[in-house]
Amino acid sequence: MKNGHFTEDKLKKENTQMRSVWSIPVSKSEKEFGNHPTQKPLDLLLRIIAASTNDGDVILDPFNGSGTTGAAALITGNRLYIGTEIDADYCRLTKERLAAIQPTT
């Protein structure tokens, strides 16, 4: 994470240790498939996954919501993802969101 390149974070200085405060702007385009009241920015989940998982790891999100964690896992690549959600509308939203992601291989 020290050498990570996080262009969206104006507080992170190159080649310095990761700070405890991250500046991650929220993009309106992330609501393209619908709204969830506690949706997190995709860049936040991308950074969390990069910091805390390795290739082949399984990521569990027991409160899937709109599927941001699943989207980040798919974009990061080489991660398995399990998400649970009780609201059928959010399950549908997640399926649409994940289907729209183009693999980066």
pLDDT digits (tens, 9 = 90+) for 20-33: 677 787 777 777 76
Let me know: does 33 contact 96? Beta carbons within 8 Å. Answer: yes
User: Six-digit token pair at 86?
Assistant: 């009780």
pLDDT at 16: 72
Q: Which of 28, 27, 23 is nearest to 6 (CA)?
A: 23
DSSP-based three-state secondary structure for 52: helix
pLDDT at 65: 92
Question: DSSP strand E in the chain: where?
Answer: 58-61, 80-83
Q: Which residues pair with 81 in a beta bridge?
A: 59
Tell if the pTM clears 0.75, that is, is over it: yes
Report how many helices (DSSP H) and strands (DSSP E) the chain contains, helices first: 3, 2
What average pLDDT does range 92-98 have in this prediction?
A: 93
Say whether pLDDT at 72 is over 80: yes
Q: What does each C-alpha distance from 7 to 14, 43, 47, 54 come to in angstroms?
A: 10, 10, 12, 22
pLDDT at 2: 65
41-65 confidence digits (pLDDT tens): 898 999 999 989 999 999 999 999 9
Let me know: does 3 contact 18? Beta carbons within 8 Å. Answer: no
Say whether pLDDT at 36 is over 70: yes
